[in-house]
Amino acid sequence: MDNLKEDEFTAISLDESFFFFDSLVRRVWVRKDERAVVRITGSHQESVLFGATSLEGKQLFRQYDWFDANTFLDYLKQIHRKSPKCYLFLDKAKQHYRSKKVLEYFDKHKKDLIPVYLPIASPEFMVLEEIWNIAKNDLLVLQYYSSFTDFKNKISTYFRTKRFNLDMRNYLLAKIGN
């Protein structure tokens, strides 16, 4: 994920988000004499996105069918391979700090993979929350996908090609000052 020297640490913010296979309706402009029509699927299918961004602006996104300790551990290993030494800023989802497998992995790599758990109910400290808002606006607001496969493919393409260019340092410092 980063091109740092072998002994350098980086900071990485990590989070997950659920993308539901349905249209999000926010505000729309409609002529006074017309009725707004929004196509929806009524589906409860979802795709889970894992995301990470570093201080250097590198990003890594992966799509999964569900969020559990196994998928989180798989994603954590991918981050660790790309950033061998890092401080990992994450929330207190139970998959992050209660899973025996995840805790064992953190313990095994405690000298080079250091979890930093952010306070509960503090999304303002998670730079990924801003990324999820941007992505959901781009992918879900007033959008209709003909199939769940089409939906997942669109998400995959979007996160493979989109560069968010958010400065994690400035984002966190701005939030602290408010």
Taking residues 133-141, report their average pLDDT.
Answer: 90
Residue 165 belongs to a domain: yes
Question: Measured between alpha carbons, how far apart are the two ends of the chain, in Å?
Answer: 31
Residue 75 belongs to a domain: yes
Residue 30 belongs to a domain: no
Residue 57 belongs to a domain: yes
Residue 3 belongs to a domain: no
The answer to whether 38 touches 142, Cβ cutoff 8 Å, is yes
Local structure of 88: helix, strand or coil: strand
Using CA atoms, how far apart are residues 22 and 46, in angstroms rounded to an integer? 9
Residue 41 belongs to a domain: yes
* Domain of residue 52, residue span: 10-25+35-177
Q: What is the CATH number of the domain that holds 110?
A: 3.30.420.10
Residue range 50-105, pLDDT digits in tens:
999 998 889 999 999 999 999 999 999 999 999 999 999 999 999 998 999 999 99
What's this model's pTM, rounded to 2 decimal places? 0.81
Using CA atoms, how far apart are residues 139 and 18, in angstroms rounded to an integer? 12
Please tell me the total count of domains within the chain. 1
Residue 5 belongs to a domain: no
Tokens, residue 92 = 């207190």
- Tell me: pLDDT of 141 over 90: no
Residue 2 belongs to a domain: no
Which residue in this structure is represented by tokens 């569900």?
66
